[in-house]
A = this chain, B = another copy of it.
Amino acid sequence: MDSRVEKHAEVIVDHSVAVEEGDNVVVSAPFVAEDLVVALYELLGERGANPTWWAGSDRAKRALLMASDPDEFSAPEHVEAAVKEADVFINIRASENTNETGDVPPEINTAYRQARQDIREEIMGSRWVLTQYPASGHAQKAEMSTEAYEEFVWDAVSKDWEEQRELQEKMVEILDPADEVRIQSGETTDITMSIDGMITANDYAKRNLPGGEVFTAPVPDSVEGVVYFDKPLMAQGREVEGVRLEFSEGEVVDHSAEKNEEVLTQVLETDPGARRLGELGIGMNRDIDEFTYNMLFDEKMGDTVHLALGRAYDKNVGENQEQNDSAIHMDMIVDMSEDSYIEVDGKVVQRNGTFFWED
């Protein structure tokens, strides 16, 4: 067993989800991540927890989706029942082909997601973590050898998360009491939003491993302006590139994409909340220093901002504020490394990717 895998398992069990004796644990992972699951099972056994492994197979999922009648999707009672009794969810992403579900029609994906929304919400109300195991598919996506990608992933997860938490707390203290945020980048992005009454969260690898962002929710009807997302995103197994969104009174009033625009259109039509923003995130992890076309990593980079269409996280929404609700939550990234700034209540907190305290 690679000692980096054992370290990864330790961070998950002891830091991210803090497993306790008697915890009922669900591990969701494709088989290519078996080494990490074996390392987890050993630790979970030592801690007196009860794990079960749900196989994440994109091939099987594709076969099901392609054969099903999307009007008949429902939340399976046996999965719901298990989710209700589980205390901890460890979701391991890994792939040997990131396009494995790429030919499933978007409307089928959407129907499937909608049918399972209650299950997702139940999970998000528990202790959960999403992490990555380095396999060939995401390595290819990142234009890396699997060997180099392993190093990239395991370096990123085995960080001093307490130190990272402290660094990020600076930004939490700026955003949490603030009202207006403006994101400006080149000729293509100039967007403002209110975060008044919202709660800024500090992600130091509790729910995402690697962590490394602070995030909050925009007031749903406050978003105004235009944003162009520099980096492609994967939606419904397909790559959507060059997304441009125009907002008025919080709603997407115009949209386009340079590649797979129909996927974007489908996402926006999921439900009314899919046309509004549910998250504003600021990447602050300086150890992630290259784009790998994987949101879990890219959105944490120190010179990026991300906005998500769809559902806002419960913890970001203040008592007297409206929570944007949707079956989707789709993150999109703005590269802030050049000709860009983040302004909070009129003060520039980051310019060209450099935070003011880094100057």
Contacts and interface: CB of A to CB of B under 8 A. Distances in A.
B67 A45 contact: yes
A82 to B, nearest CB: 4
Interface residues of A, number: 47
Contacts of A44: 64, 67
- With most chain B CB atoms within 10 A of its CB, the pick from A57, A66, A80 is A57
A65 to B, nearest CB: 7
**Interface SS, A side:** helix
Nearest to A28: B55
Interface in A70-95: 72, 74, 76-86
Contact of A84 (B31, B57, B68, B81): B81
Contact of A67 (B42, B65, B67): B42
Contacts of A34: 31, 57, 59-60
Contacts of A37: 55, 57, 60
A43 B39 CA distance: 34
A24 B76 CA distance: 6
A83 B66 CA distance: 26
Interface stretch (A46-54, A142-150, A155-163): A46-54
Given A37-B57, A61-B41, A69 B48 contact: yes
Q: What is the oligomeric copy number?
A: 2
A65 B30 CA distance: 21
A17 to B, nearest CB: 15
B76 A81 contact: no
Given A38-B60, A60-B38, A50 B67 contact: no
Interface of A: 22, 24, 26, 29-31, 34, 37-39, 41-46, 48, 50-55, 57, 59-61, 63-69, 72, 74, 76-86
Given A34-B60, A45-B68, 10 more contacts: A24-B77, A34-B57, A37-B60, A42-B64, A43-B67, A45-B66, A50-B77, A52-B54, A52-B78, A55-B55
